[in-house]
Chains A and B, each alone.
Chain A
Amino acid sequence: MTKSLYQLILVHFKTFFREPGILFWAILFPILMAWVLGVAFSNKSETLQTVYVIGAAAPEQITGEKIFGTETGNPFRIRFREAAEEEAVRAIKRGIIALYVEVRGSSLVYHFDPHNPDAQLLHLVLDRGMSGIRSNGSIEALQAKGTRYIDFLIPGLIALGIMNACLWGIGWTLIETRMKKLMRRMVATPMKLSVFLSSHIITRIILGGVETLLLFVFAWLYFGTTITGSVPAFIVLFVAGVLAFAGIGILTASRTAKTEIGNGLINAVTLTMMILSGVFFNYHNFPDWTIPVIQALPLTVLADAIRAIFIEGAGFAEMIKPIAILLATGLVTFTVGLRIFKWY
Chain B
Amino acid sequence: MNKTPVIEINGVSKSFKDVKAVNHLSLTIYEGEYVALLGPNGAGKTTLIEMIEGIQKPDEGSIAILGMSWKTHAQKLHRAIGLSLQETRFIDKITTEETLNLFGSFYGLGQRRTEEILDLVNLKEKRKAYTVTLSGGQKQRLALGIALLNNPKILLLDEPTTGLDPAARREIWKILEKLRSDLGTTMILTTHYMEEAEVLCERILIMDKGQFIAQGTLSELNAKHGEGDLIEISFGNNFDIEALGLSGIKKLNWIAPHTKVQIFVDNIAEVLPAVINSAKTKNIKIEELLSRKMTLDDLFISMTGRHLHD
Contacts and interface: CB of A to CB of B under 8 A. Distances in A.
Interface of A: 3-4, 6-8, 10-11, 14-15, 18-19, 177, 180-182, 184-186, 188-191, 344
Nearest to A191: B106
Residue in B75, B90, B106 with the greatest tally of chain A CB atoms within 10 Å? B106
Secondary structure of the A side of the interface?
helix
A344 B57 CA distance: 12
B175 interface: no
A117 to B, nearest CB: 47
A180 to B, nearest CB: 4
Interface stretch (B10-18, B80-88, B179-187): B80-88
Contact of A180 (B78, B90, B93): B90
A189 B107 contact: yes
Given A7-B102, A188-B54, A19 B91 contact: no
B94 interface: yes
B89 A182 contact: yes
A240 B75 CA distance: 33
B93 A189 contact: no
A182 B91 contact: yes
A181 B89 contact: yes
A335 to B, nearest CB: 22
B159 interface: no
A180 B88 contact: yes
Interface of B: 53-56, 75, 78-79, 81, 83, 85-94, 98, 101-103, 105-108, 110, 146, 150
A15 B93 contact: yes
Nearest 7 interchain pairs by C-beta: A180-B89, A7-B105, A191-B106, A189-B106, A4-B105, A18-B93, A190-B78
A4 to B, nearest CB: 4
Secondary structure of the B side of the interface?
loop
Contacts of A11: 91, 94, 98, 102
Given A15-B93, A190-B75, A190-B79, A185 B88 contact: yes
Contact of B88 (A4, A15, A184): A184
A182 B90 contact: yes
A182 B88 CA distance: 6
Contacts of A8: 102, 105
Contact of A181 (B53, B79, B87, B98): B87
24 contacts: A3-B110, A4-B102, A7-B105, A10-B102, A11-B91, A11-B94, A11-B98, A14-B93, A19-B93, A180-B88, A180-B89, A180-B90, A181-B88, A181-B89, A182-B90, A184-B88, A186-B106, A188-B81, A188-B83, A189-B150, A190-B78, A190-B79, A190-B106, A344-B55
B112 to A, nearest CB: 13
A14 B98 contact: yes
Contacts of A191: 106
A188 B55 CA distance: 8
A56 B90 CA distance: 74
A109 to B, nearest CB: 64
Given A182-B90, A189-B103, A190-B79, 8 more contacts: A8-B105, A10-B102, A11-B94, A11-B102, A182-B89, A185-B146, A186-B106, A344-B56
Contacts of A185: 85, 88, 146
Contacts of A7: 101-102, 105
Contact of B78 (A18, A19, A188): A188
A20 to B, nearest CB: 10
Contacts of A15: 91-94
A184 B88 CA distance: 9
Contacts of B55: 184, 188, 344
A147 B91 CA distance: 46
Contacts of B98: 10-11, 14
Contacts of A6: 105
Nearest to A195: B106
Contact of A184 (B85, B91, B102): B85
A3 B54 contact: no
A189 B55 CA distance: 11
Nearest to B83: A188
A10 to B, nearest CB: 8
Nearest to A3: B105
A176 B75 CA distance: 25
Contacts of B53: 188
Nearest to A8: B102
Contacts of B107: 189-190
Residue in A11, A184, A188 with the greatest tally of chain B CB atoms within 10 Å? A188
Contacts of B94: 11, 14-15
Contacts of B150: 189
A14 B102 CA distance: 12
B117 to A, nearest CB: 14
Contacts of A344: 55-56
B78 A189 contact: yes
A7 B101 CA distance: 7
Nearest to A176: B91
Nearest to A14: B94
A147 B79 CA distance: 61
Nearest to B101: A7
A87 B63 CA distance: 82
Contacts of B105: 3-4, 6-8
B85 A181 contact: yes
Contacts of B110: 3
Nearest to A177: B91
Contacts of A181: 85-89
